A and B are shown apart, each in its own frame.
Chain A
Amino acid sequence: MNKIVHMGQLVPLSKEMKLFELIDGYPQLLSIFSRLNIVLPFGDVSVEAMCQREGLDADLFMMLCNMHLDPDYRPADRSLRAEMLAGVVAYLRSSHGYYTTYMLPHVAQHLERVLEHCDALSQRVLRSFYDDYVGFLASHFEEEERDIFSIIDNMSTTLDALFSMLEAPHGDIDDRTNDIASLVIKSLPEGVPTPLRCSLLDHIYMLRDDLRRHSAVEMSLLRPLVAKYQKSVER
């Protein structure tokens, strides 16, 4: 469980704490605010009040924060409610947008700075490799939004079929992201200045870790919520 210093004591994150405490304790959560398009400043409000104002489920927001901070965090089944499903799908959709409009172009910028120090052939193959990777991710996101999320919206398939679709391609994404890191570490020409190389690697690993958390939200939040939602509809 992620904890934070509150009134001089280490306590678990909670929706009752002030928004400032949450951000000040874990600035890395700001990317969730970007994804959910939450506009700051909010004054001295609690997380719960902020969620209410933004139309977000505060319990779900706390789960997303905890999962973002700790890749091994799994929300307890009893704390999941079928009504959270729409919020998770909205979060995953907006995460796709965050990758395509922010994170991937950011890595590309750092890659370009590195490529300035490479020969023409290296530039061409690396640029093309990264473009393919971006295309691969974009088509994965599109497919997920078209097939999986729309199926969830309409609930027109069996859970087994839905779950196998959710599971299928994520190992490939991780492998391909690692491939880029391996190439940068092991094969980039020696002339590339170390700070540029390290900065590019930082962003690649940030992207990889974020994509892993994204997959974890799909596996450990979306899946059980779909099951709960379907049960609630059948009743």
Chain B
Amino acid sequence: MKRLKVAIIEPSLIVAEGIEAVVRRLADYDVVLNVRTVAEYHLRRCADVDVAFVALSHAHEELGAVQKIGIQTSLTEPDVVRGVSTIVSLYSTEEEIVKALGEGVDTPTTTNFSDSHELSERERDVLVLVAKGYTNKEIASELFISPHTVISHRKNIVHKTGIRSVAGLTVYAVLNKLIDSEQL
């Protein structure tokens, strides 16, 4: 099984270190980043992160294609936060943290990346339309799929190609002869 990469974004060093210690004991996870702020996360992110423990106060911030597990450090913080798949608290047991990790990476929005770095036929279709400048909505309409599925394909494309920018994906499409320059 592929080892999943975990990031921790938590202003309290003590809390962050505690979570890291628990996760490090688990066989299927690697802690690749332990930072205090989302800005620092973006600055230092050097590996594709699969799941992030993030302080509830920062959980609304954009982390890209990463599943979020909220860290509740105060009883006054909400139990439900948009974009957070599950929540752990200061009182969670090790078992509860393991369970949260399982839920965090198994939610329906999670992309199950294939080990193969070859793009599937559908991913190639999406890539070509991305390269032509289509929006997610336009791609969904063109290919008769939901925008949610388009986003999922795009996550897979980014993971497999290692390229995030539209300009870079366009070059990828040309170099791999998925599109010729006249179509751009």
Contact = CB atoms under 8 A, between A and B. Distances in A.
B174 A179 contact: no
B172 A183 contact: yes
B122 interface: no
B162 interface: yes
A179 B22 CA distance: 34
Contact of A122 (B40, B45, B167, B174): B174
A126 interface: yes
A182 B175 CA distance: 12
21 contacts: A121-B174, A122-B175, A125-B170, A125-B175, A167-B42, A171-B43, A176-B164, A176-B165, A176-B168, A178-B164, A179-B162, A179-B163, A179-B164, A182-B162, A182-B163, A182-B168, A182-B172, A187-B161, A187-B171, A187-B172, A216-B43
Nearest to A72: B44
B146 interface: no
Contacts of A185: 162
A171 B44 CA distance: 9
Contacts of A171: 42-43, 45
Interface of A: 71, 121-122, 124-126, 129, 132, 167, 170-171, 174-176, 178-183, 185-189, 212, 215-216, 219
A179 B150 CA distance: 21
Interface of B: 39-40, 42-45, 117, 161-165, 167-168, 170-172, 174-176, 180-181
Contacts of B45: 171, 174
Nearest to B181: A121
Contact of A132 (B167, B180, B181): B167
**A interface majority secondary structure:** helix
Contacts of B165: 175-176, 179
Contact of B175 (A132, A176, A183): A183
Contact of B161 (A129, A176, A186, A212): A186
Contacts of B39: 167, 219
Contacts of A175: 164-165
Closest CB pairs A-B (n = 7): A182-B162, A179-B168, A171-B42, A187-B175, A175-B164, A167-B39, A179-B163
A142 B175 CA distance: 32
B171 A183 contact: yes
Contacts of B168: 129, 176, 179-180, 182-183
A125 B163 contact: no
A124 B162 contact: no
Given A124-B181, A126-B171, 5 more contacts: A179-B167, A182-B163, A186-B162, A187-B161, A187-B176
A140 B86 CA distance: 37
B29 to A, nearest CB: 21
